Chains A and B, each alone.
Chain A
């Protein structure tokens, strides 16, 4: 019976990690539903981007207040989680504060002291985040796409962190041995008096409860990630690695179109010739994107990485002037649809069954797509290298090349380019007339 807690701990740990791994596999499967693209180039620049943007938070700090608070929570999260290692070892082997046995007491005290200070800083930052969201009501957290789940999700994460930090400090404050040792209890020594007058047995009970709730809380939080915008704590790293390296103004040239254009321009090619062996697969089923499977896997990774901070939307000229377009919504819709497609595959034994829905129209409307000025403000604003513009462009490509569904004025413009090489109806032969005017 004395091993019951150890066994219970191991079961909870395995279940927690197991369920997380299961969802990570699903996540990876869903991302791979996207088109393959080659992002194997320029590794050194990619590592550098990841180090600067994800690890170094270089774009977060462009907004100093949010950037500073975020840096505290980020550093706190990484460092305090070192404590989890001790908790796991203690839990499995039934030890108590194994760190004290393997590390010099002064060093152990230093570590725990640092964790305690960070825990308080994280707690305060999270409270400030909550106030920004719910009391100050920063505009970008109250846009039309930020209702129901997205809104609750944002707050849930903050509550989670408040609770976890509290449990960590309470656990230390009620640990009689740790408090008598009086090393590393930088913060918890001031919390300990709140529990004075309680019997040692009660204190021990509170300490144990806090310890268990802390580790269970962490496991729940870990598993919450997949269902939440909070996945960015993991995906920011690959996403910045695979982010766009070309100048922002450079939009990709569709290779399949290049082939057809070259064929049209080459007088020596026989248009009726059978395609060469093995090239049948080169021609895509459709041009552009109407659903998530038409997007590249990097674009789908973008969607899972988005943490809905709304910096893109707050910088978007269309959104600022009251249009329906919100780059954040483009990313949220892409993720929601991808999840829907993923669930469809799960329920249909690994096969996607047409559900009569798609990303276009059922999630993202044409009005949103046509409001984009392609100014790249959203791309510049994103702290984790998400590119909403590329999705907008791919969907416009579908509308124009598959459906001929451009707004009339744009069709006129394109007809002009086709006929006379300018977006307006002027004769190409008049191009140099300005010289003599």
Chain B
């Protein structure tokens, strides 16, 4: 299956003197994390299916600096940012799509001041545009009638007010979208933000991801949908902690759409 993936790089486009429609910013999780790589591939399959001319930076991509900035290391963040912006500007990138809300937020909001001005979209927004334009069609398929709840990533929702795009995609699957007690702007964090992903939590009486997973399990979903590789990891761990992995799947929206089409 994987040999069918077409993943051209910006360098290849440049060599042919062409510009892609959009740059797919894969992100560190999407590049290296085993679970997140599946999301990356699912999204690429959809891009291929919709005949989107996209490119990745490949080995020229580097961390956006988000976890460094949120840890307080502004130097490291800006070093990363300025380096990335140099690469992006050299390729004259205009439009970026990413499946990571942290990369999305950083490039969209924090890069412009440092000289990086791009139109930045989260992959759920991009997929929605593809559907609206008729470039991609989706039918419920295996998800028709399934109970799906969506976990709002903080950096997509509260941070950038994107609440509807992922939900509209779930509705397109003809699935039953159920909302958790805390959703949209009141969504509870998965516990990974602000560089918490990379450290042990402080002493407390519970882990944040377990709390959030309990909220999700309360609405008895068959699938917990996520839109962020870090949320995905945290909630997957939460489901395991509650020993529910046999009953509940944690999937990215891109995977839902791709699987619905048997891609």
Contacts and interface: CB of A to CB of B under 8 A. Distances in A.
B138 interface: no
Contacts of A333: none
B225 interface: no
Given A317-B189, A422-B32, A375 B154 contact: yes
A412 B76 CA distance: 13
B40 A434 contact: yes
A373 B2 contact: no
B188 interface: yes
Interface stretch (A13-21, A44-52, A133-141, A253-261): A253-261
A265 B114 CA distance: 13
Contacts of B179: none
A219 B27 CA distance: 60
A410 B198 contact: yes
A372 B204 CA distance: 13
A260 B75 CA distance: 9
Contact of A375 (B109, B110, B193): B193
Contact of A376 (B65, B72, B158, B203): B158
Contact of A393 (B65, B70, B79): B70
Given A257-B78, A397-B72, A422-B28, A377 B58 contact: no
Nearest to B44: A435
Contacts of B117: none
B198 A413 contact: yes
Nearest to A256: B74
Contacts of A372: 194
B243 interface: no
B130 interface: no
Contacts of A379: 158
Interface string B197-212: 1111111111110111
A407 interface: yes
B159 A417 contact: no
A208 interface: no
Given A323-B204, A414-B68, A254 B74 contact: yes
Contacts of B261: none
Given A323-B201, A367-B202, A409-B200, A249 B80 contact: no
A436 interface: yes
B61 interface: yes
A250 B7 CA distance: 31
A300 interface: no
A317 B202 contact: no
A250 B110 CA distance: 6
Contacts of B33: 424
Nearest to A392: B194
Contacts of A435: 2, 5, 7
Contacts of B78: 253-254, 257-258, 261
Interface in B23-62: 26, 28, 30-33, 37, 40-41, 56, 58-59, 61-62
Contacts of A424: 28, 32-33
Contact of A320 (B72, B196, B211): B211
A262 B154 CA distance: 31
A321 B108 CA distance: 31
Q: Is the interface of B mostly helix, strand, loop or mixed?
A: helix
A318 interface: yes
A190 B88 CA distance: 76
Contacts of A429: 59
B105 A414 contact: no
Contacts of A320: 188, 208, 211
A232 interface: no
A360 B69 CA distance: 19
Interface stretch (A147-155, A195-203, A347-355, A398-406): A398-406
B137 interface: no
Nearest to A248: B159
B208 to A, nearest CB: 5
A376 B70 contact: no
28 contacts: A247-B105, A248-B158, A248-B159, A250-B109, A250-B159, A265-B86, A317-B188, A317-B189, A321-B201, A323-B201, A323-B202, A372-B194, A375-B193, A377-B158, A380-B185, A398-B72, A406-B72, A409-B200, A413-B67, A413-B198, A417-B68, A417-B76, A417-B80, A421-B61, A423-B28, A430-B59, A431-B26, A432-B56
Given A249-B159, A250-B105, A417-B80, 14 more contacts: A249-B105, A251-B70, A257-B75, A258-B114, A321-B207, A323-B202, A374-B70, A376-B159, A393-B70, A413-B68, A423-B28, A423-B67, A424-B33, A430-B32
Interface of B: 2-3, 5, 7, 9, 26, 28, 30-33, 37, 40-41, 56, 58-59, 61-63, 65, 67-76, 78-80, 82-83, 86, 105, 108-110, 113-114, 154-155, 158-161, 185-186, 188-189, 191-208, 210-212
User: Which 3 pairs between the two chains have the least Cβ-Cβ distance?
Assistant: A249-B159, A396-B72, A374-B194
